[in-house]
């Protein structure tokens, strides 16, 4: 799962635990061997064929499913054509649409004309913009997203509700050889090639292990080239797609998380790492200036040389990892607990009159 899907899972689990909501999860991708308990999964499209051109191709199937369910509230995550399709349905049925911003890019309005985008991308963008303008409530993750939303769409968000994660078991002081991890799907916007370069540049640290986790989510040719570069590095291993349980277990014994993404919303891996006393070194992403404000790691201001030197310094001075890790754990437990779900559930619960 990606971060948005995992946040949806946490919400669904809590709703099923409460037993106060009838829950349907609408998605393109379904594992035929998985049986949901307490809610229903409906497939509304396909990840193959025409589906690769965008989410707008699922318009009629999504509308059909919504008419059959007749929901009181639609909670839609990720900015795409589904945002606009859900808004279209909600305005004609009288149900509420709550849209969750999961990426800063979704609320950055560019100049989109039929001439400067491929037709399917133009339609995808226009449906997203329609949905943002007509959603009843918008939930953001950061103050930065609020600023972007107001600047691009002149809309004030309904609520700022931060991502959450379950608390891990107690994490002792990190021991053993230093392990530096990178966790994301192999996509161009995640810039995995920079982590490969980092491992190569820091090969002088013979006792340090570099690990990459994530699926191959871009073109086969591009991903194959990245994997070939990974295989050339003796200090770097690529373990592919892994479960949340595996990722959390890996983080329990790891020291540094490196993020090389061009942009994010609020990375789930940041929270997981902080809860496990890891130092986070981020190349570009710094939501609400969290690194400087709370001293949770190092923001490198899109400067690869600063990234390389920052990781090298932490390797040389493991005491700094421990200090950062203690602050990070405290911040994450106070700010990103599962208690955040209660605010979201309150927003999603229809108000009864009288």
Instruction: List the domain boundaries for the chain.
Output: 3-164+338-348, 179-335
The rounded distance, in Å, linking the Cα atoms of 136 and 151 is 18
User: How crowded is the C-beta side of 129, counted as CA atoms within 13 Å?
Assistant: 15
Overall CATH class of domain 179-335: alpha beta
The rounded distance, in Å, linking the Cα atoms of 122 and 114 is 6
Q: Measure CA 23 to chain center.
A: 22
pLDDT band at 28 (very low <50, low <70, confident <90, very high): confident
The rounded distance, in Å, linking the Cα atoms of 75 and 130 is 16
Lowest mean pLDDT among 32-41, 153-162, 205-214, 307-316: 32-41
Lowest mean pLDDT among 6-20, 22-36, 49-63, 228-242: 49-63
pLDDT band at 53 (very low <50, low <70, confident <90, very high): confident
pTM, 2 dp = 0.90
Among 52-56, 122-126, 286-290, 306-310, name the most confident range: 306-310
pLDDT attached to residue 110: 73
Count of C-beta atoms within a 10 Å radius of residue 277: 25
**What is the third-level CATH fold of 3-164+338-348?**
Rossmann fold (3.40.50)
Condensed to tens digits (0 to 9), the pLDDT of residues 66-97 reads 999 999 999 999 999 999 999 999 999 999 99
pLDDT attached to residue 120: 79
More confident residue, 151 or 45: 151
Beta bridge partners, 76, equal: 99
Lowest mean pLDDT among 109-113, 145-149, 347-351: 109-113
pLDDT attached to residue 171: 72
Q: Can you tell me the mean pLDDT for 121-126?
A: 89
Count of C-beta atoms within a 10 Å radius of residue 337: 16
- Asked if the domains at 3-164+338-348 and 179-335 fall in one CATH topology, the answer is yes
pLDDT band at 174 (very low <50, low <70, confident <90, very high): confident
> Is residue 238 over pLDDT 70?
yes
The rounded distance, in Å, linking the Cα atoms of 106 and 125 is 9
Q: Please tell me whether residue 18 adopts helix, strand or coil conformation.
A: helix
Among 204-208, 261-265, 349-353, name the most confident range: 204-208
pLDDT band at 354 (very low <50, low <70, confident <90, very high): very low
């Amino acid at each position: 799962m990606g971060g948005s899907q995992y946040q949806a899972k946490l919400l669904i689990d809590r709703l099923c635990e409460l037993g106060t909501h009838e829950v349907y999860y609408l998605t393109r991708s379904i594992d035929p061997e998985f049986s949901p308990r307490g809610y229903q999964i409906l497939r509304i499209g396909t990840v193959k064929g025409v589906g690769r051109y965008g989410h707008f191709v699922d318009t009629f199937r999504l509308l059909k499913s919504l008419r059959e369910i007749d929901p009181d509230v639609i909670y839609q995550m990720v900015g795409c054509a589904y945002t606009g399709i859900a808004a279209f349905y909600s305005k004609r049925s009288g149900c509420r649409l709550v849209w969750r911003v999961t990426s800063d890019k979704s609320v950055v309005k560019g100049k989109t004309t039929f001439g400067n985008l491929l037709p399917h991308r133009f339609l995808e963008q226009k449906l997203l913009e329609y949905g943002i303008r007509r959603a009843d409530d918008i939930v953001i993750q950061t103050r930065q997203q609020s600023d972007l939303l107001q600047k691009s769409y002149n809309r004030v968000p309904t609520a700022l509700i931060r991502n959450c994660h379950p608390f891990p078991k107690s994490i002792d002081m990190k021991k053993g050889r230093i392990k530096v991890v990178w966790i994301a799907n192999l996509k161009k916007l995640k810039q995995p090639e920079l982590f490969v370069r980092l491992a190569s540049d820091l090969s002088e640290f013979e006792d340090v292990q570099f690990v990459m986790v994530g699926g191959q989510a871009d073109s086969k040719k591009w991903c194959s080239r990245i994997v070939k570069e990974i295989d050339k590095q003796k200090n770097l291993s690529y373990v592919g797609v892994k479960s949340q349980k595996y990722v959390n277990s890996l983080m329990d014994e790891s020291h540094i998380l490196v993020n090389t993404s061009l942009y994010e919303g609020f990375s789930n891996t940041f929270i997981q790492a902080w809860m496990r006393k890891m130092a986070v070194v981020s190349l570009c992403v710094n939501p609400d200036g969290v690194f400087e404000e709370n001293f949770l790691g190092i923001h490198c201001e899109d400067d690869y040389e600063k990234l390389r030197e920052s990781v090298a310094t932490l390797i040389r001075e493991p005491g700094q990892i421990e200090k950062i890790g203690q602050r990070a754990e405290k911040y994450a437990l106070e700010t990103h607990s599962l208690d955040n779900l209660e605010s979201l559930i309150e927003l999603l619960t229809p108000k009864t009159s009288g």
